[in-house]
Amino acid sequence: MTDRIAPALAGGMGLFRALGSNPAVLQSVVRVALSTPTTQRDTFALLRLVAPKLALPFNLIGCYPAKGSMLVTRAADVRAVLSREADFTVVYGPRMRELTGGRDFFLGMQDSPHYRRDTAAMRAIVKPGDLDAVLAMARREAAAAINAGNGAIDLPTITARVPAMMVRDYFGINAPAEQLIPDATMMFLFLFSDLEANPKVREAALAAAARTNAAIAASMATAGAETLLGRAVAAGRAGEPAFDHEGILANILGIMIGAIPTLNKAACLAVEELLTRPAALARARTAARAGKEASVAGYLWEALRFSPVNPFIYRRAVVDTMIGDTRVPADMMVLAANLSAMHDGDALPDPDDFRANRPWGQYILWGDALHRCWGDHINRTILPAMLMPLLAQKRLKQEAAPDGGGLPFPKSYKLSFG
Ligand code: HEM
């Protein structure tokens, strides 16, 4: 397959380079090439073959300053970028601090004593067995919504609402789902996906942050010992420096932002992808009907390998450095394309095949190395639980494509079944 398409791809690349004489045109071409999971996969396949580290004369991530960009597409290089924390730094700090009112949150920090202190403190307030109640709630809510749906469901009523209920009942932020869902989504957009640095996004995100910080502060007095907030308050009183008042706000705000839009989008993307693969969907349904949550999970991770929430993760070069034999100048934005890495034939066998039993280590669905998702365990538990009752249904059909009302996070995804 690769041999057959290589010459065509090389021709396409020549055209791509010719367009490069005009940076504005090239920028539009790149944006279109990266606009959907299918175009991303095709573009990355092309780049892995002919330009695995493609330098571009503009910064693709307009919300954070940088000089130029580099698309990194081979698995070994993607993993290297994400693990070379001293050379390639996270950039989100300034926007994180705007949302917290000044305090850093650990995803915005380079490896440092402050990063280690906060992540250790956050790990210490998680207890074994914490997810039992979350899992029970996810299963219960998903089954109830499907049963009440009468053959129809708007999927985010499960996949956004369940994480919001987790944020309320387990994280400890006492606020309604109707507030938590749009506010977390807007802050997430501002932090990670506001590639054009739209002033309206900033304004809406700051308003969302004000509401959420007020809700966290108001919840501090009553949050119980079963909640992360309640435990953070107790640890702060016992002298844990990560959990002074501002530290509690920043850490609870940070995990709240990370939890809701991501789980919702991942669930919708996985279902959307499975619906394009009837044979895989039928096998997933058989597993779901048999109550095999671990088997269903395999179908979800594989669907997300084709259509992940984050197709790339970006970093900025701290110093002039090298990736293999390619020079990366200081301040260049480096886009480590995890979607591409998960389709690199050097890293996993038959990457174009849909296989629901790949080893977990072949996936990069939510980051890698130091900043790998703090919610990893939650994701692996809650995504299958939220989707089992839906996937068990016969004649599952998409009635309308996922719709975010102009934002890249589904507010609505109408499906029918039965
Ligand atoms: C399917 C759902 C999720 C996806 C796709 C996702 C994606 C990611 C990605 C790509 C990163 C790495 C970012 C980077 O390296 O620049 C990350 C980190 C992080 N995520 Fe998630 N995430 C999900 C769910 C969650 C949940 C449920 C939580 C909260 C419980 C959460 C909290 C975090 C935090 C705090 C970090 C930073 C970790 C660190 O800096 O050490 N995420 N996530």
Q: Give the Å distances, CA to CA, from 126 to 115, 174, 229, 252.
A: 17, 19, 11, 13
Residue 267 Cα: closest atom of ligand 1: 1
Taking the C-alpha atoms of residue 340 and residue 292, their distance in angstroms, rounded to an integer, is 30
**What integer pLDDT is reported at residue 22 of this predicted model?**
80
Helices (H), 195-346: 199-219, 228-237, 245-275, 278-289, 293-306, 338-341
Tens digit of pLDDT for each residue in 208-253?
Answer: 999 999 999 999 999 999 999 999 999 999 999 999 999 999 999 9
Taking the C-alpha atoms of residue 69 and residue 134, their distance in angstroms, rounded to an integer, is 40
Determine if ligand 1 sits within 6 Å of the CB of residue 106. Answer: yes
**What integer pLDDT is reported at residue 16 of this predicted model?**
65
Determine if ligand 1 sits within 6 Å of the CB of residue 313. Answer: yes
pLDDT at 42 over 70: yes
- Averaged pLDDT of the chain: 95
Backbone angles phi and psi of 74, in degrees to 5 = -85, 145
Q: Which two tokens stand for residue 359?
A: 């080893």
Query: DSSP code of 409?
Result: S
CA-closest residue to ligand 1 atom 40: 107
10 Å Cβ neighbour count for 84? Answer: 18
pLDDT at 89 over 50: yes
**What integer pLDDT is reported at residue 2 of this predicted model?**
46
Tens digit of pLDDT for each residue in 288-321?
Answer: 999 999 999 999 999 999 999 999 999 999 999 9
Residue spans per domain, the chain: 2-416
Q: Please tell me the distance between residue 257's alpha carbon and the centre of ligand 1 in angstroms.
A: 9
Q: Please tell me the distance between residue 21's alpha carbon and the centre of ligand 1 in angstroms.
A: 38
Tens digit of pLDDT for each residue in 165-217?
Answer: 999 999 999 999 999 999 999 999 999 999 999 999 999 999 999 999 999 99
Residue whose CB lies within 8 A of the most ligand 1 atoms, among 366, 378, 379, 409, for a mutation test: 366
pLDDT at 17 over 70: no
Q: Please tell me the distance between residue 137's alpha carbon and the centre of ligand 1 in angstroms.
A: 21
Q: Please tell me the distance between residue 416's alpha carbon and the centre of ligand 1 in angstroms.
A: 31
Q: What is the pTM of this model?
A: 0.96
Q: Give the Å distances, CA to CA, from 417 to 140, 146, 281.
A: 19, 10, 13
Tens digit of pLDDT for each residue in 341-385?
Answer: 999 999 999 999 999 999 999 999 999 999 999 999 999 999 999
Q: Please tell me the distance between residue 239's alpha carbon and the centre of ligand 1 in angstroms.
A: 27
**What integer pLDDT is reported at residue 244 of this predicted model?**
98
Whether domain 2-416 has CATH 3.50.50.60: the reply is no
Assign residue 367 a region: left if phi > 0, alpha if psi is -120 to 50, beta otherwise? left
Determine if ligand 1 sits within 6 Å of the CB of residue 340. Answer: no
CA-closest residue to ligand 1 atom 30: 375
Q: Please tell me the distance between residue 122's alpha carbon and the centre of ligand 1 in angstroms.
A: 14
Determine if ligand 1 sits within 6 Å of the CB of residue 373. Answer: yes
Q: Identify the CA nearest to 26 among candidates 52, 55, 3, 67.
A: 55
Tens digit of pLDDT for each residue in 111-159?
Answer: 999 999 999 999 999 999 999 999 999 999 999 999 999 999 999 999 9
pLDDT at 4 over 50: no
Determine if ligand 1 sits within 6 Å of the CB of residue 259. Answer: yes
Q: Please tell me the distance between residue 413's alpha carbon and the centre of ligand 1 in angstroms.
A: 23
Q: Identify the CA nearest to 81 among candidates 310, 324, 340.
A: 324
Q: Identify the CA nearest to 334 among candidates 33, 83, 46, 38.
A: 83
Determine if ligand 1 sits within 6 Å of the CB of residue 254. Answer: yes
